[in-house]
Structure 1
Amino acid sequence: MLGNPHFADLYQNKPYDVQYWGYNPRNLYSFIQLFSLPRPDWALVPGDNRYGWLAFVRGAKWLIAFSGDRPAHKQWCFNELLPLPKHAVAVPDMMQKLCTGKDASPFQPEHWKITNYHPLPA
């Protein structure tokens, strides 16, 4: 999973077997580093569909996102486009709509412990 480098520590115990890599689109080194990572099998793009092209270039075998992003060329790389919910939903519920198949295992707090946490000074 690619995401903001500041969230990487949350995934250090690999909850749900997720491998997390920090990515900052404003950092050229962060972009170049992507090409040393394993090729993804599956890419879910929950936000701006322009990031689907990044997954496509990295060789993802199956790409899923929500439809309706503009301009339309942002969507050309996807294998599957799902409709956005018609009414307001919580972000986790929206993300879950991108995943199909067997439900994830129940939340386990020990999977989300951050060992190198340092509180901010008061």
Structure 2
Amino acid sequence: MKQRRNTKQRQLVLDAVKAHNDHPSADQVYLDVRAIDNKISRGTVYRNLNLLTQSGEICQIKVPDADRFEYRLDFHHHLLCTKCGAVCDAPLSYHTELDQEMAKKTGYSIKRHQTVFEGLCPNCQHSLK
């Protein structure tokens, strides 16, 4: 892969993702970076999020409506609130044997799997009462 120089904009995007524990969307990262550098464009932020994901410096979580990003690189699962859209880490262990079983059954070379559990977070459950 071609060596890319580390730009100020890319570092701002990386720092914005690192500052979050709530798995920000690209728009949230853009707003955070824009507060620091009002000349940065949405396209620059999105392009750098993609580059950082491709290089393995951050992870992208694919959820309905808007993909989310995080700095945590270990393999783990997520929870998604279907009402408010909150995303958080799930307190379950990652099982590599599922990757191995899928590879054996399909012939794919499995790198990892991503699981997103969907439901209502405690706050949204409470607001229904």
TM tier, smaller: under 0.3
Structure-2-length-normalised TM-score: 0.26
- Give the number of the structure whose residues are more often helix, by fraction: 2
Structure-1-length-normalised TM-score: 0.27
